[in-house]
Structure 1
Amino acid sequence: MNQRPSRHSLRLLSYDYDSPGAYFVTLCTVERKALFEQPDLRTILEETWEMLPQRFPTVKLDTFVIMPDHVHFILWLEENAESGPRLGQVVATY
Structure 2
Amino acid sequence: MNKLLLPSLLLSIFVISSCSSQQSNVLNESDAEAFLERVELEDKTLGPIASSAYWIGSNFITYDSQKVVADYSKRFQLLALERARQASTFDSVEVSKENRRKLNL
TM-score, reference length from structure 2: 0.26
Query: More strand per residue: 1 or 2?
Result: 1
- Max Rg structure: 2
Query: More helix per residue: 1 or 2?
Result: 2
